[in-house]
A = this chain, B = another copy of it.
Amino acid sequence: MKRRTFIQNSTIAGLGVTVLGKDEPKKSSPFKSNNGKLKVGVIGTGLRGQGHADLIWRRDDCDLVAICDISQRMIDRTKAICEKHGKKLPTIYQSGPHAYKEMLEQEDLDAVIIATPWRWHVPMAIEAMEQGVYVGMEVSGAASVDECWQLVRTSERTGSHLYFLENVCFRRDVMAILAMVREGLFGEMMHLECGYQHDLRGVKFNDGETAYNSGAEFGEKGYSEARWRTQHSVTRNGDLYPTHGIGPVAQYTDLNRGNRMLFLTSMATKSRGLHEYIVNHPKGGPDHPNATVDFKLGDKVTTMVKTVNGETIVLHHDTNLPRPYSLGFRVQGTKGLWMKVRDGIHIEGLSKSHRWEDSKTYLDKYDHPLWKRYEQRAIGAGHGGMDFFLMHSFIEHAKRGETPPFDVYDAASWMAITPLSEQSIAMGSAPVYFPDFTDGKWIDRKNTFAHGDEY
Contacts and interface: CB of A to CB of B under 8 A. Distances in A.
A304 B348 contact: no
Contacts of A334: 272-273, 276, 299, 321
A356 interface: yes
Nearest to A314: B302
Contacts of A312: 267-269, 298, 300, 302
Contacts of A302: 191, 304, 312, 314
Nearest to A262: B428
Which range holds the interface residue count of chain A? Answer: 35 or more
Most buried by B among A199, A324, A325: A324
Contact of A430 (B332, B333, B337, B431): B431
A236 to B, nearest CB: 17
Interface string A353-380: 1111000000000000000000000000
A382 to B, nearest CB: 17
Interface stretch (A42-50, A244-252, A339-347): A339-347
Contacts of A188: 272
B323 A429 contact: no
Most buried by B among A276, A323, A354: A323
Interface in A392-418: none
A190 B267 CA distance: 12
A269 to B, nearest CB: 5
Interface in A241-286: 263, 265, 267-270, 272-273, 276
A318 interface: yes
A306 interface: yes
A226 B346 CA distance: 25
Given A306-B267, A306-B429, A332 B321 contact: yes
Given A269-B311, A318-B191, A346 B324 contact: yes
A354 B199 contact: yes
A405 B115 CA distance: 55
A41 interface: no
A272 B304 contact: no
Interface in A312-331: 312, 314, 318, 321-325
A310 interface: yes
A337 to B, nearest CB: 6
A335 interface: yes
A427 to B, nearest CB: 8
A419 interface: no
A428 B337 contact: no
A131 B50 CA distance: 77
Most buried by B among A346, A356, A429: A429
B304 A322 contact: no
A336 interface: yes
Most buried by B among A300, A335, A430: A300
A270 B310 contact: yes
A276 B333 CA distance: 12
Contacts of A273: 334
Given A299-B190, A323-B336, A332-B323, A269 B314 contact: no
Contact of A190 (B199, B270, B310, B311): B270
A323 B336 CA distance: 6
Most buried by B among A312, A346, A430: A312
A149 to B, nearest CB: 23
A321 B341 CA distance: 20
Contacts of A337: 321, 323
A323 to B, nearest CB: 6
Contact of A323 (B265, B304, B346): B346
7 contacts: A191-B269, A270-B310, A299-B334, A323-B332, A324-B346, A324-B354, A430-B431
Across chains A and B, which 5 residue pairs bring their CB atoms closest together, nearest first?
A270-B310, A322-B348, A191-B300, A265-B265, A429-B431
Given A191-B318, A314-B314, A339-B341, 7 more contacts: A190-B269, A190-B272, A190-B321, A265-B429, A267-B312, A323-B337, A323-B346
Interface of A: 188, 190-191, 199, 263, 265, 267-270, 272-273, 276, 298-300, 302, 304, 306, 309-312, 314, 318, 321-325, 332-337, 339, 341-342, 344, 346-348, 353-356, 428-431
